[in-house]
Amino acid sequence: MNRQRVVRVSLIDAVAERIQEAILTGEYAPNSKLPAEEALSAEFDVSRPVVREALGLLRERGYVRTYNGKGTFVRQSEIGTVTEGLLRNLRPHVGREVGVDDLFEARRTIEVAGVRLAAERAADDDLDRLRDQIEKMRIAAPDDPGAYTAADVGFHVAIAQSTQNPLFPLLLSPLVDLIVRGMYQSVTAHRSARVTGVADHSVILDCLSKNDGDGAASAMDEHLLASWEEHRDAFQNAERGSTPRVQDTAR
């Protein structure tokens, strides 16, 4: 999660948004316990009452559940349950029945179609979330590949959510988990790739803000193809060995 101090006018909303994004991008896994109020207060440099109110907002939105004497835990959503099941079933087959090119082809098909729908259906708050993710990528690009990768994943998942079709994030999330996990070492090693990624994502967002479905689809396709060419070898090496998952490296 981005460790920068929260400076927005509404601190409660800002803290809630940061924690919500961490949940959506997998930094806080379903059923995991959130840090204590005191730790979150120190992390965001806000008072404990602000953290308490922010957690209350997240409870209302259905993201967390608090148990007296035990703490606050991330709720397991129905979509999250299905996604985790897909991921568990898919991972053992990668490199065997399922090749790395198969993963990329499936992701490309879903994301290009999804971004075209998002251009038609994204609301203002969807676009704001995408802008926030790009800003996090821009800040992290110079020297924080973990935070950059988490924001990158968050951007693509947010587009899937902007389709207003729950199947898109359901199908995309396990593919992004596997592919980005495999490319992490390459992203870490190549700062220039992170800078280019910020520019690519900005072009996609610009098309979405103009309701330009064709432009958004073309920009997404070009971005995915270029990214795959850049990181394909790293992904294959990771599948033969072991690479940290995004949520392990981004905290």
Which numeric CATH code is attached to 78-245? 1.20.120.530
Pick the CATH number of 11-74 from 3.40.190.10, 1.10.357.10, 1.10.10.10, 3.40.50.150: 1.10.10.10
- H-type alpha helices, 92-212: 100-121, 124-140, 145-162, 167-189, 191-209
pLDDT tier, 214 (very low <50, low <70, confident <90, very high otherwise): very high
pLDDT single digits (tens) 128-175? 999 999 999 999 888 887 778 878 888 998 999 999 998 898 888 777
Mean pLDDT of 104-116: 94
For range 171-191, the mean pLDDT: 66
* Domain assignments of the chain as residue spans, ordered by start: 11-74, 78-245
Put simply, whether the predicted model's pTM sits higher than 0.85 gets the answer no
Q: State the CB neighbour count (10 A cutoff) for residue 56.
A: 14
Residues 129 and 208: their CA atoms lie apart, in Å, by 12
* pLDDT for 201: 96
Mention every residue, 6+ apart, whose C-beta is less than 8 A from residue 57.
12, 13, 16
- Other C-beta atoms within 10 Å of 7: how many? 8
Mean pLDDT of the residues in the chain: 79
54-63, 90-99, 227-236: least confident range: 90-99
